[in-house]
Amino acid sequence: MTGYIKGFLTTLLFIYSFYSFSQPKVFHLKGQIVDEANTPLPSSTIVLLDQQNKEVAKVSADSSGYFDLSYSIAGRYVLNISFTGYSSYRSAVFELAHKDFGLIKLNPADNALAEVVVQAKQDLVELDGGNIIYNVSKSIDAQGATALDAIKKAPGIYVDNDNTITLNGRQGAMILLDGRQTYMSGKELTDLLRSMPSSGIRSVEIINSPTARFDAAGSAGIINIRTIKPQIKGFNGNLTTGLAYGMNVRQNLDISLNYRRNNVNVYGTYNHFLGSYSYLYGSDRIQNNKTYDSFTDDIDKRQRMGSRLGADLALNKRNTLGILLTGNFIFGGGLTDTRTDIGNTSSPAVLQVLDAVNDYYQQQTQRYNMNLNYKYEDTLGRIVNVDADYGYFQKTNGNLQSNIYSGDRNNVISRSFNRTLNAININLKAFKFDYTTRLGKAILETGLKLSDIRADNDSKFLHVLAARDSLDDRRSNAFGYNEQIASTYVNLKRSFKRWNVQGGLRLENSSSRGALFFRSAGIDSADNIRRTYLNLFPSVSASFKASANHNFSLGYSRRIDRPAYQDLNPFVYMLDELNFWQGNPFLQPQLSHRASFTYAYKSSTILGLTFSHTDQFSTQITDTLDLNKVIMVFRNLGVQNNAALSITQHIYPAKWWDITFNGTLYQLRNKISFDQYRDFDLKQAAARMNLQQSFKLPYKFRAEVSGTFTSRRLTGANNISRAVSQVDLGLQKSLFKDKGVLRLVVNDIYQGNRGNAVQSYAGFYLRSYSYYESRQVRLNFTYKFADSSVKGPRTRNSALGDENGRIK
């Protein structure tokens, strides 16, 4: 790792020296873009045009509406600024020089539909500062699917068949929705993303160098999913509906509505995904000279629904109040049918068969969140933002499990029936205060956050008998977890000619108490685990614009990943009589140091380099239990190092043909220990590539062909996964004067996305395989309607950021 850093710094020094002496003077054009109420318009498009009206440079405004566009070739130019739903601003002709345009005010457009249609050309992947932006709306394949499907093709992101999300080969990315973290992590997070429609997503932002303003979670970086904000005055909306078929038929619907009049804006959404999902998976295991070959047919019958209702009230030009209510609901049954053939390594004969059926006859998940927001902003750059949040998460399930052992002649040796009843209730409360002001020529950001989390888990294991169910005290417990986190931060940003620099420090103090209640030998008992820790999280970054076509950025931050609340519960969950899952109350947070470097040439080439070092690395492992069983449990194992090189390249062979290539080459090294007898030093290089081609065809048709390849790689603690690939085809037709769009997509046409992984150590070997409905046909229709232009709902960052993301 030291050698990497030395080489990295030497390269930077060479680049800086070269451009400092060889490049012409760069001029900066600055300003802030606001609406008629002086509210910033983030991500506005700023374009510099020459006298032939040809684009020579382009940038996007930041989250506060500020922009800094630089160019070096002297001449006469015009500045053009646009934002969807607003009339464009066009400056007078000026000679290129350092110029501050001050406050630029955009007014709502008279014809909203025209504004929606007339937009500047947008690449599939762009660079905004040091952040990579994947524009979901530019991909046919990403539309009419789920949010989980949409993020899969973003640069550096990979989602395996177990729905584990990695960024540049590493787990631990923090997922945000419009700057707010989700309520869930792990399986519950992917369930949430699968309940969200991709038609409501504008872009996916990959933040490799988060500032101190962000929660310190996310050792692999941050994935921020930006939803579409309608900008249409009066009443307007969007409808997407469709069908999908792989092994089951599913139906999806997404409706978003918005209404604004004068200083009041009200908006809401509803979406659902109805239908079953099928999963096929299994494993071949060798343990203590015995073989266990299992196969599972898993049907998930849960239905997914989501909704959002919000309102913004502009009290005057400087003060705004807002409320946002969100809810997500998952309900329905499920069934897994597993057959395990048991034998000896010395003979291929099957000695016993275990048939295990899990009937999830009752499953329900409810997720609610309320956000109250106050914002003050004046023309001097002072911003006060206050968030008060309350979140509630409830999950219940009932499972009836049968385990039947048969001999080699199909004779029943034994049978047992068990029932598990689980209930999880989590209450989250948070308060967040942020303040931004100008400090000389710099921008100062500071704030604080207080959060309180209460998680209660009740788990019961019962033996199903003829007369009645019998509670097993040894396998039942109640687990309560309470955590308070207090944090504060300061961050300073400053521009120096070609340089933009920022530095910040975040302080977080965590105090928690876990209480396990159980019954032993007929006596009620309790165990308590208390923890308190204080951490500092520095972050620094710098960007250097060497010329109009060459941009460099560099960043460093320290990050933390706290355990999901459910992973701390020591309850043993039986998948069948040979496979178990258990939480770990002694699980510690993992801490990471992360550095990143990005280079961009124009808007066509983006190169990225990231390094990370993680202490107390934690992940789920598969360990042996007794002579013939395995248990899956999270543990702190040791150290993980990660280095990744990425490239995004845009190619335009013709006006009707666009090509985007994303490639990531990375290496993981895990220096870990299961116990004093099992140490591992595993190192694996891997690559992931994505090639997407888009074709403009006659009669308002568009076609898309995309392919992905992921090589052999190291996953989890000690899994070596084989290569997978996938090819997708898409066709789109615009209808009804571009108000409607019909899309047909075929995913994974040759079923190349099949998981296959191996792990082994002395006396143990496990090969696992999996396939889900990756090959499917999707047909979707989208229709947009509006009557005139409006400002859409504000983007707000909820106080329940990191806490919500740890519900699993």
pLDDT digits (tens, 9 = 90+) for 100-124: 888 898 887 654 433 333 344 567 8
Has residue 89 got a pLDDT over 50? Answer: yes
Contact status, residue 383 vs residue 377, Cβ threshold 8 Å: yes
What are the start-end ranges of the E strands in 61-122? 66-71, 76-82, 89-90, 94-95, 99-105
Q: What is the pTM of this model?
A: 0.80
Instruction: Give the residue, 397 or 55, on which the prediction is more confident.
Output: 397
Mean pLDDT along residues 303-331: 92
Lowest mean pLDDT segment, chosen from 459-463, 563-567, 667-671? 563-567
Over range 575-594, report the average pLDDT: 91
The predicted structure's pLDDT at residue 11: 44
pLDDT at 212 over 70: yes
The answer to which of 84-93, 252-261, 352-361 has the lowest mean pLDDT is 84-93
CB-based contact 400:351 (threshold 8 Å): no
pLDDT band at residue 15 under the 50/70/90 scheme:
very low
Q: What is the pLDDT of residue 320?
A: 92
Residue 71 has pLDDT above 70, yes or no: yes
pLDDT above 90: percentage of residues in the chain: 53
Answer whether 168's CB lies under 8 Å from 788's CB: no
Mean pLDDT along residues 27-52: 82
**Poorest-pLDDT segment among 553-567, 701-715, 779-793:** 779-793
Residue 658 has pLDDT above 50, yes or no: yes
pLDDT in tens, 439-461: 888 999 999 999 999 999 999 99
Whole-number Cα distances in Å, 454 to 183, 262, 329, 571, 646: 14, 41, 21, 18, 40
Mean pLDDT value across residues 592-597? 94
Of the candidates 688, 526, 780, 609, which has an alpha carbon nearest to the alpha carbon of residue 11? 609
Is a pLDDT exceeding 90 seen at residue 777?
yes
- The rounded distance, in Å, linking the Cα atoms of 131 and 283 is 40
Q: Tell me how far apart the alpha carbons of residues 739 and 741 are, in angstroms, rounded to a whole number.
A: 7
**Greater pLDDT, 474 or 384:** 384
pLDDT tier for residue 43 given thresholds of 50, 70 and 90:
confident
Looking at residue 114, its pLDDT comes to 37
Locus of tokens 């990756």: 774
Gap between the Cα atoms of 755 and 282, Å rounded: 10
- CA distances to 412, 487, 492, 504, 664 from 450, rounded to whole Å, are 58, 7, 22, 19, 38
Q: Model confidence over 149-193: pLDDT tens digits?
A: 888 888 888 888 777 888 888 888 888 888 777 656 777 777 778
| 590-617 average pLDDT score | 92
pLDDT digits 0-9 by tens, 519-552: 877 788 888 889 998 999 999 999 988 887 888 9
Nearest-angstrom CA–CA distance, 511 and 533: 7
pLDDT for 239 equals: 93
Instruction: Please check the confidence at residue 700 and state whether its pLDDT lies above 60.
Output: yes
Question: Which one is predicted more confidently, 703 or 116?
Answer: 703
Sheet containing 66-71: order of strands: 66-71, 27-34, 99-105
Cα angle at 580 between 579 and 585, to 5 degrees? Answer: 160
What is the predicted pLDDT for the residue at 121?
A: 55
pLDDT category at 19 given cuts 50, 70, 90 is very low
Rounded CA separation 95/93 (Å): 7
**In this predicted model, which residue has the larger pLDDT, 38 or 577?**
577
Per the CB < 8 A criterion, the answer to whether 664 and 645 are in contact is yes
**What average pLDDT does the segment 257-283 reach?**
91
Strand-pairing partners, residue 368, are 327, 392
Q: Which residues on neighbouring strands pair with residue 766, listed in sequence order? A: 285, 759
Which of 40-54, 105-119, 507-521 has the highest average model confidence (pLDDT)?
Answer: 507-521
Which pLDDT band holds residue 21 (cuts at 50, 70, 90)?
A: very low
| CA dist 290 → 283, 286, 294, 342, 343 (Å) | 14, 6, 13, 7, 6
What is the average pLDDT score of the chain?
86
CA distance 607 to 552: 9
Give the per-residue pLDDT at 232. Answer: 62
